């Protein structure tokens, strides 16, 4: 299992949680930007930015991430998001859920097969 984020503060939190769970040998934590990093995995599971603490255009971020999925070697992607319409892919499954005070969705993609 590999966990990725581009912000050091979230990488530190992930390391703390991994270590507390005793999973040091099972989970690698890597600094990477989802808009640029190559993807090679059976399944990608992500909590995409909701736009609450992000000052960039989510459409551009989601589109670049979708490009990495399609270009990579990924069989399935599962995303938690408040903006599933920003991902230029057709989901094979969608589950609308409340997420605190936000309306969110869990969407499943198999866009390349």
CATH number of 87's domain = 3.40.50.150
If DSSP codes are grouped into helix, strand and coil, which group holds residue 28? strand
C-alpha to C-alpha distance for 14 and 112, rounded to whole angstroms: 30
Sign of CA dihedral 84, 90, 96, 99: negative
Lowest mean pLDDT: which of 10-19, 53-62, 73-82, 91-100? 53-62
Q: Do 111 and 71 share a structural domain?
A: yes
Q: Do 73 and 27 share a structural domain?
A: no
Range of the domain at 14: 1-32
Q: Which residue has the higher pLDDT, 86 or 51?
A: 86
Q: Do 100 and 58 share a structural domain?
A: yes
If DSSP codes are grouped into helix, strand and coil, which group holds residue 19? helix
Q: Do 47 and 12 share a structural domain?
A: no
Domain count, the chain: 2
Q: Do 4 and 57 share a structural domain?
A: no
Q: Do 75 and 104 share a structural domain?
A: yes
pLDDT in tens, 15-48: 999 999 999 999 999 999 988 988 989 999 999 8
**Average pLDDT value for residue range 62-78:** 92
Q: Take residue 113 and report the two structure tokens written for it.
A: 């097969």
Strand-pair partners of 41: 74
Q: Do 51 and 23 share a structural domain?
A: no
Mean pLDDT rounded to a whole number for the chain: 90
pTM of the model: 0.84
Q: Do 71 and 16 share a structural domain?
A: no
**Average pLDDT value for residue range 76-97:** 94
Residue 5's pLDDT is: 93
């Amino acid at each position: 299992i590999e966990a990725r984020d581009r912000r050091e503060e979230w990488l530190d939190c992930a390391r703390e949680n991994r270590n507390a769970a005793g999973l040091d040998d099972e989970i690698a934590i890597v600094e990477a930007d989802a808009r640029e990093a190559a993807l090679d995995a059976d399944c990608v599971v992500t909590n995409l930015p909701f736009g609450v603490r992000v000052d960039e255009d989510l459409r551009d971020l989601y589109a670049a991430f979708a490009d990495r999925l399609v270009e990579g070697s990924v069989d399935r992607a599962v995303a938690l998001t408040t903006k599933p319409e920003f991902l230029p892919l057709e989901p094979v499954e969608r589950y609308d859920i409340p997420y605190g005070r936000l309306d969110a969705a869990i969407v499943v993609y198999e866009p390349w097969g």
